[in-house]
Amino acid sequence: MCGRTCLTLDSKEIQCCCKYRKTSQKKPLPPEYRNEFNCGRKYFPSYNIAPTDLSPVLVSAAHFNEDTDTSERIIVPMMWSMIPRWHKGDYRKHGLTTNNCRLENLAMSKLYGFPLHSGYRCVILCEGFYEWQTTKELKASERPAFFIHMPQNENVKMYDKSTWNFNEGGITLLKMAGLFDIWEDENGDKLYSYTVITLESNRKFSEIHHRIPAILETEEEISQWLDFRRIGVNRALNLLKPSESIQWYSVSNIENNSRNKSDQCNKPSKDINFSKNNLMRNWLLIKKRSNENFDVDEGSSSETKIKKI
C-alpha cells in the first residue's frame, strides 16, 4: 500500500529529473510542465504528501492533444485519491477510499474499469514513500516507519538536499504506476485525480508490508505504461511487478500526522533498529517518542477498501 509520499522539488527541478529521449532527439529533454486549473488547487512541494494533496504525475501528452504522439510526455499536477466521475457535489465527500487500487481487481472494477480501459495511465513522481511495518504486536500508530526510495549515486543522501546536483540530472525519482480520471463540478471545472496501483509484495519487501506500490524501474517500462495506443491493457498490466531495486531506512513516525510537513519526516531515525527479535526495544522507543505533541492520523496505515457500488 502507499499512504504518504515525499516530493520537495519545484516544477523546474522535477522536469530536470524527468528528462527523456524521444525517437527524433539526440539528447534527453525535460517534459513540459502543464498547470491545469484543478478547481483552483495547486501542487506544493512537501516532505509529507497525503491523500487529497496535489502532486505531479507523468502522462502521455496525447491525453491533452489527440494529434500528439503517445510517446511524448507531460507533467501534470493531480489530486491523490481518484474522484469517481459520476460523483455529484463536494468532491471530498464521495465516501470511497481511492488513494490505492489493487492490481488484482482492476480489470473488473466498476470504479477503475473506465480509466483503465480508456488508457488513463499515469506515473506518480516522488522522492520516496513512507511505509509502516505490519506488526500485530503494536498499534498502527506505534508501528516503525520507513522511507523507501530508489538507489542513488554514491554521494547522494535522500535526506540531505545539499548533496543533490541538478546540473548532473538531480536525483533518481521513484516512479509508481497509477490511473487517473477527470471529474467535473457543477460549473464544468475539471479536477484531475489519481490512484496508486499496488500488488502483493516480493520477499524483499514483505517483512515491512504485504502490499507494495507498482514501481516502474526503467525508461522502457515507463514508456510502455504511458503509451496507451500501442500498449494494450493486458500487456500494460503485465509490466507491473514488485521492485527489486528499492532501498529504505527507518524514520520517526511523525509523518503519521498529515499536517506535519517538517523536513524531519524523511530524516533517518538514529534510535530505531527494527528487527523481528527486537520488538520490545522498539515499542519502548516509540512510546518515548509519543510524548512529542504529534497527532496521529491512522489513515497512513490503512488498506484501501472500495465500497461496492
Residues marked as catalytic: 2, 131
CA quadruple 266, 272, 277, 281: dihedral sign: negative
Residue with C-alpha cell 520537495? Answer: 8
Identify whether the C-beta of residue 200 lies closer than 8 Å to the C-beta of residue 241.
no
* Amino acid at residue number 127: E
Cα–Cα distance, 56 to 128 (Å, whole number): 13
R_g of the chain computed on alpha carbons: 19
Cα–Cα distance, 124 to 4 (Å, whole number): 12
Give the list of residues 6+ apart from residue 254 with CB closer than 8 angstroms, or none.
Answer: 260, 262, 264, 265, 292, 294
User: What is residue 184's three-state secondary structure?
Assistant: strand
Q: DSSP letter string over 194-263?
A: EEEEEEE--HHHHTT-SEEE-B--SHHHHHHHH-TTTS-HHHHHHT----SS-EEEEE-SGGGSTT---T
Cα–Cα distance, 260 to 269 (Å, whole number): 16
Buried b (16+ CB within 10 A) or exposed e, 102-113: bbeebeebebbe
Cα–Cα distance, 276 to 273 (Å, whole number): 10
